[in-house]
C-alpha cells in the first residue's frame, strides 16, 4: 500500500534510532516498551485482586477474582495500554488497532490507567482514613500504572522544531518564547507518529457490523455514565472516558470510524436512533430515564441553535427564550387548571401552537435586529431573553394582564394522551416495564428525528450553503448576490421553531413552566449559556457535535451536585481544558479542524505495505 500523507512531496521522517528516548530521557527504548507492556499486563491482573479490606468504600473492592466499581474502569484502561503496547511492538494481529501510530496512543492510555488508579487509591485512603486500609492489590495497581506511565513517556517521538530566541526581545517576550517552546515539546510527546491509513476494501456486511459495534460501545458507555451509583464512580468515569477517548483518537480509530459512518451515513443515523431507543430497556427503573429525556430535550434545542450559530454564524445569547415561548404556548392550551384560557388541544395541535408561536417570535425579533452583526446582535438577543422572562413574570393579573400567573407559572399540566396511549402510566413492552419518563423519552426521540432531518436537509440545501457563506464572510456573500437579511431571518425563524417544538414536550414532562426555567445562565441547564457551550464544545456546524456536547453538559452538572459550591468551578476548569486541547470541538468538521490546527507540525511517517 502506498504512503498516505497530506503532503505527498514532503520527505518522510526517518525512524527513530534504537536508543532514542522520549519525554523521559534516561530509559532506553527497549526497556521503555517492556515497562509499558509489563505495567499494562500487571494493571489488568491487579484488577482481579482486592484493593481494600472493608466494604465501607462504595463498589465493594474487597473481592478476589471479580472486579467491580472503579476496578472495572482501571481494567478497561489497562487493557487499552496492553493492546496499544503490543501494537507498538508490531505484534501480528494488533497493528490494526493503531492506524495512526501506537506511541502517542499508548502514552494517553497509560496516563488514563495511572490517573484512574491513583485517584481510586487516593479516594480509598481519604474515605477510610489512610493508605493503611489498602490491600496488596491497591499497592500493586499503583506501582503497575506508574511503571506503565514511565515506560510510555520514555517512548520516542519526533521533537518539534523551535525558533531561536530573538536577543532584542524584552525579558517577558523571551520568557513567553521559552515557555511556548517547552509547551510545544510537551505536546510533541503525545503527537501522532504518522497519518491515518485509509481503510482496506471490506465487504459491506463487515462494515455494517463494525458500525453496529461502535454504536453498541457508545450505548454502553452512555448507559454506564448515566447509571453511575455514587460520586467516586462518576469522577472515575470522567477520567477514564476523557483520557480513554483521547487515546483511541490518537490511535486513529476514531478517524477510521468516521470514515465508515460517513460512507454509510443514512444507515449510521438510523442505527444511532435504534441504539438510543434501546436505552430505556437497559434501565431497571425510571430513575435514569429521567436524565435521558431531559438530555434529549436539551440536545434537540442545542441542534436548533446550531443552525443559528453553527451554520449561519449568528451569535444568539437569548435562544432559551424560544424554548420558553413554545413551553408556555403548549401549557396554555394543554387543559391545565391554572391556564386562564381553559382549552385543551390535542398534542398535535399543541405542537403546532408551540412551534408556531416560537416561529412568530423569531420573525418579530429577527426582522428589526438581523441587520446588526457580531457583538451588537448578541446584545440584542441577550436583551430579548431577559425581556421574555420579565414579561412572563409580570403577566400575573397584577402588574399586567392575567396570562402566565407570574412567578407561579402554569402548573398541573396534564400528561399527554395520544390515541389512547397515556404517557403518564406504566406500560409493558416485550416483558420490560416502561415508566412515565421512558414514554416521554421515546416521544422526544421521534421529535429529535424530525429535527435531525430538518437540520440535514437544510444544511445540504441551497439555503444551507448560503448560511455557510454568510458565516464565513458576509461581505463577500453579499457581493455574490446572496440576500443576507432574508437568509439570516430564515435561519433565525427555523432555529426558533425547533426550540419551540422541544418546549411543547418539556412543558408536559416537567408538569410546570415557570420563568426561572429560562435564564441566560444558571447552575443547571437548559439555559442560553449552556446551550451555546454545547454547540461550541460539541462542534459548530456538525450534526452530532451539539448532541454529544449537550449530553455531556447536562449530565456532568447533574452528577457533580455533591460538590456544592465547587461544582461550577470544577466544571469551568474542565471546559477550559477541553477548549485548550480541542478548540474545534469534540466532533468538528474538516474546515474547523484545519483552521484551528493550521500551524501544528505533525511529522509524517511512511506507512509500510501490509502494516
30 SS3 class: helix
Nearest to 461 by CA among 453, 450, 473, 449: 453
Alpha-helical regions (H) of 473-517: 474-479, 484-510
Mean pLDDT of 537-541: 82
Decide if pLDDT at 565 tops 80.
no
**Pairwise CA distance, residues 491 & 483, whole Å:** 13
80 SS3 class: helix
Per-residue pLDDT at 459: 79
Q: What CATH number labels 278-595? A: 1.10.3470
Per-residue pLDDT at 8: 42
More confident residue, 591 or 100: 100
Per-residue pLDDT at 49: 92
Mean pLDDT of 88-102: 81
Rg (CA), the chain: 27
Decide if pLDDT at 601 tops 50.
no
3 SS3 class: coil
Per-residue pLDDT at 283: 73
Share of the chain above pLDDT 70, in %: 83
Per-residue pLDDT at 602: 44
CA distance to 86, 322, 502, per residue, from 297 (Å):
43, 13, 6
Q: Parse the chain into domains and list their residue ranges.
A: 29-158+193-202, 278-595
522: confidence class by pLDDT, cuts 50, 70, 90: low
**Pairwise CA distance, residues 488 & 478, whole Å:** 12
Per-residue pLDDT at 596: 57
Mean pLDDT of 190-201: 55
Mean pLDDT of 1-11: 40
Mean pLDDT of 440-462: 87
237: confidence class by pLDDT, cuts 50, 70, 90: very high
Each residue of 316-327: pLDDT tens digit? 888 888 998 999
Each residue of 46-61: pLDDT tens digit? 999 999 988 888 888 9
Decide if pLDDT at 270 tops 80.
yes
Nearest to 551 by CA among 233, 273, 301: 301
Mean pLDDT of 383-403: 83
**Pairwise CA distance, residues 415 & 39, whole Å:** 55
- What is the architecture, at CATH level 2, of domain 29-158+193-202? Up-down Bundle (1.20)
User: What residues contact 443, with CB distance under 8 A and at least 6 apart?
Assistant: 416, 423, 505
9: confidence class by pLDDT, cuts 50, 70, 90: very low
359: confidence class by pLDDT, cuts 50, 70, 90: very high
Per-residue pLDDT at 590: 64
The secondary element (H helix, E strand) that includes residue 281 is none
**Range 439-454 burial, b when 16+ CB lie within 10 A, else e:** bbbbbbbebbeebbeb
Mean pLDDT of 293-322: 87
312, 471 contact by CB (below 8 A): yes
Mean pLDDT of 211-239: 87
Per-residue pLDDT at 42: 94
Decide if pLDDT at 120 tops 90.
yes
Per-residue pLDDT at 169: 53
CA distance to 242, 298, 583, per residue, from 545 (Å):
16, 13, 13
Q: What is the pTM of this model?
A: 0.79
Per-residue pLDDT at 471: 85
**Range 341-363 burial, b when 16+ CB lie within 10 A, else e:** eeeebebeebbbbbbbbbbbbbe
**Pairwise CA distance, residues 147 & 286, whole Å:** 43
Strands 432-434, 427-429: parallel, antiparallel or unpaired by DSSP? antiparallel
Per-residue pLDDT at 60: 86
Per-residue pLDDT at 65: 87
Specify the range with the lowest mean pLDDT, choosing from 2-6, 343-347, 375-379, 537-541.
2-6
Share of the chain above pLDDT 90, in %: 13
Decide if pLDDT at 571 tops 50.
yes
Per-residue pLDDT at 188: 52
Decide if pLDDT at 161 tops 90.
no
Mean pLDDT of 432-456: 86
Nearest to 290 by CA among 444, 519, 419, 409: 444
13: confidence class by pLDDT, cuts 50, 70, 90: very low
More confident residue, 493 or 566: 493
Decide if pLDDT at 476 tops 70.
yes
Per-residue pLDDT at 73: 93
Indicate the Cα dihedral angle 200, 206, 212, 214, nearest 10°. -30
Decide if pLDDT at 356 tops 50.
yes
Task: Describe the chain by its helix, strand, coil percentages, rounded to 5.
Answer: 65, 5, 35
Per-residue pLDDT at 50: 92
1 SS3 class: coil
Residue with cell 493550521: 598
Mean pLDDT of 386-409: 83
Mean pLDDT of the chain: 80
Decide if pLDDT at 197 tops 60.
no
Amino acid at each position: 500500500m502506498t504512503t498516505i500523507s497530506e503532503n505527498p512531496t514532503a520527505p518522510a521522517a526517518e525512524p527513530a534510532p534504537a536508543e532514542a528516548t522520549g519525554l523521559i530521557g534516561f530509559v532506553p527504548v527497549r526497556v521503555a516498551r517492556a515497562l509499558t507492556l509489563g505495567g499494562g499486563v500487571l494493571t489488568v491482573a491487579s484488577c482481579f485482586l482486592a484493593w481494600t479490606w472493608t466494604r465501607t468504600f462504595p463498589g465493594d473492592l474487597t473481592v478476589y477474582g471479580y472486579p467491580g466499581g472503579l476496578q472495572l474502569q482501571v481494567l478497561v484502561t489497562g487493557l487499552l495500554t496492553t493492546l496499544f503496547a503490543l501494537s507498538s511492538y508490531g505484534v501480528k494481529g494488533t497493528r490494526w488497532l493503531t492506524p495512526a501510530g501506537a506511541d502517542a496512543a499508548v502514552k494517553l492510555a497509560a496516563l488514563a490507567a495511572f490517573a484512574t488508579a491513583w485517584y481510586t487509591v487516593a479516594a480509598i485512603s481519604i474515605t477510610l482514613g489512610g493508605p493503611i486500609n489498602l490491600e496488596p492489590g491497591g499497592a500493586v495497581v499503583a506501582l503497575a500504572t506508574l511503571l506503565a506511565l514511565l515506560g510510555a513517556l520514555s517512548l520516542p517521538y519526533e521533537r518539534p522544531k523551535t525558533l531561536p530566541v530573538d536577543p532584542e526581545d524584552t525579558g517577558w517576550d523571551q520568557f513567553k518564547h521559552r515557555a511556548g517552546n517547552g509547551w510545544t515539546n510537551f505536546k510533541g510527546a503525545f503527537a501522532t507518529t504518522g497519518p491515518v491509513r485509509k481503510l482496506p476494501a471490506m465487504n459491506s456486511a463487515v462494515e455494517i457490523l463494525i458500525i453496529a459495534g461502535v454504536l453498541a460501545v457508545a450505548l454502553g458507555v452512555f448507559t454506564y455514565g448515566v447509571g453511575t451509583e455514587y460520586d467516586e464512580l462518576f469522577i472515575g468515569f470522567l477520567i477514564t472516558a476523557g483520557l480513554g477517548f483521547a487515546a483511541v483518537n490518537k490511535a486513529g480509530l476514531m478517524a477510521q470510524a468516521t470514515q465508515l459512518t460517513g460512507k454509510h451515513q443514512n444507515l449510521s443515523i438510523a442505527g444511532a436512533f435504534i441504539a438510543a431507543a434501546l436505552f430505556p430497556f437497559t434501565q431497571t427503573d425510571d430513575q435514569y430515564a429521567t436524565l435521558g429525556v431531559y438530555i434529549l430535550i436539551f440536545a434537540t434545542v442545542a441542534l436548533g441553535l446550531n443552525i443559528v450559530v453553527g451554520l449561519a454564524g449568528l451569535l444568539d445569547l437569548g435562544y432559551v427564550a424560544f424554548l420558553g415561548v413554545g413551553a408556555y404556548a403548549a401549557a396554555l392550551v394543554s387543559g391545565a387548571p391554572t391556564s386562564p384560557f381553559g382549552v385543551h388541544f390535542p398534542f398535535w395541535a399543541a405542537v403546532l401552537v408551540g412551534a408556531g408561536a416560537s416561529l412568530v417570535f423569531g420573525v418579530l425579533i429577527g426582522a428589526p435586529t438581523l441587520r446588526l452583526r457580531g457583538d451588537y446582535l448578541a446584545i440584542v438577543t441577550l436583551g430579548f431573553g431577559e425581556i421574555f422572562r420579565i414579561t412572563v413574570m409580570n403577566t400575573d393579573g397584577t402588574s399586567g394582564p392575567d396570562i402566565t400567573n407570574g412567578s407561579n407559572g402554569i402548573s398541573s399540566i396534564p400528561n399527554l394522551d395520544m390515541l389512547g396511549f397515556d404517557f403518564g402510566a406504566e406500560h409493558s413492552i416485550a416483558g420490560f416495564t416502561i415508566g412515565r419518563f421512558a414514554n416521554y423519552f421515546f416521544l422526544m426521540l421521534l421529535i429529535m428525528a424530525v429535527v435531525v432531518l430538518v437540520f440535514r436537509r437544510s444544511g445540504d440545501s441551497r439555503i444551507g450553503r448560503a448560511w455557510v457563506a454568510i458565516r464565513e464572510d458576509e461581505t463577500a456573500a453579499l457581493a455574490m448576490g446572496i440576500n443576507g437579511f432574508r437568509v439570516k431571518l430564515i435561519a433565525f425563524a427555523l432555529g426558533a421553531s425547533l426550540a419551540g417544538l422541544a418546549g411543547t414536550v418539556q412543558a408536559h414532562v416537567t408538569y410546570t413552566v415557570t420563568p426561572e426555567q429560562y435564564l441566560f445562565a444558571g447552575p443547571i441547564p437548559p439555559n442560553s449559556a449552556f446551550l451555546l457551550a454545547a454547540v461550541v464544545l460539541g462542534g459548530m456546524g456538525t450534526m452530532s457535535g451539539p448532541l454529544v456536547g449537550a449530553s455531556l453538559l447536562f449530565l456532568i452538572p447533574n452528577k457533580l451536585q455533591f460538590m456544592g459550591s465547587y461544582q461550577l468551578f470544577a466544571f469551568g476548569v474542565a471546559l477550559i481544558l477541553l477548549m485548550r486541547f480541542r478548540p474545534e470541538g469534540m466532533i468538528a468538521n474538516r474546515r474547523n479542524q484545519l483552521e484551528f490546527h493550521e500551524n501544528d507540525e505533525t511529522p509524517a511517517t511512511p506507512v509500510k505495505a501490509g502494516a
